[in-house]
Amino acid sequence: QENETYTYEQAKAMVKEALAPLGEEYGKLLDRAFNEGWVDVYENKGKTTGAYSCGVYGVHPYVLLNYTDTLDDAFTLAHELGHAFHNQCCNDHRILNRDYSMPLAETASTFNECVVMASAIGKAADKAEKLALIESQLQDATQIICDIYSRFRFERMVFENREEQFMD
C-alpha cells in the first residue's frame, strides 16, 4: 500500500523470500550482503542521495542506500543487490573483462526488481493493492525502456562512429 511502511528488516525478508527460487548460491550471497555489512542502509548527514552499488576487484560489492521505510526502497534494495550479484559473478574474470556497458549493468538489477515485484503482486492483499503495484511496475518499465534504450542507442552510435572518426 502507498502509505504503508516497510522496515529494513521487512525489506530484507521480502527480498530474500522473493529471490529464493534463484537458488541456494544466491541466497548465500544475500546472507553475506546482509550479515557482512555490504549495505550502507540509512540516510546520513553528508551522504549522497539515491542508491548505488559498486564492485571493486577482489573486494565484496558495496551497496549504498538511503532507506526511508517505503515499498519503493525495498524494490531499490532488490535492484542494488542485483548489481552486487553481477559484480560477484565478475570476480572470476580477468580485470580487463570486468568492464561492461550500462545496458548490461542494468540486467541483473532489473531482473531482481521484477522478481520481487511479481512476488509482491502475487501476495497483494486485495485488488486495489495489486493494481497499485501493477501501475508502479508499468511506470518503472516505461522509464527503464526509455532510459536503457537511449543509452544503448548512444553507445551503438559511438562504437559505429569511432571506426570512422575521432570521438572527442
Q: What one-character-per-residue DSSP string does 114-168 give?
A: HHHHHHHHHT-SSHHHHHHHHHHHHHHHHHHHHHHHHHHHHHHHHHHHHTTS---
| Residue 135 is a catalytic residue | no
55 by DSSP, 3-state: which? strand
Global pTM reads 0.82
Burial of 32 (0-12, 13-18, 19+ CB in 10 A): middle
Q: Percentage of the chain surpassing pLDDT 70? A: 99
Among 2, 25, 80, 155, which one carries the catalytic annotation?
80
Q: 20 pLDDT band (50/70/90 cuts)?
A: very high
The neighbour count for residue 163, using CB atoms within 10 Å, is 6
Tens-place pLDDT, residues 33-49? 999 999 999 999 988 88
**What's the pLDDT at 2?**
59
**Checking DSSP bridges between strand 59-67 and strand 52-56, what pairing results, if any?**
antiparallel
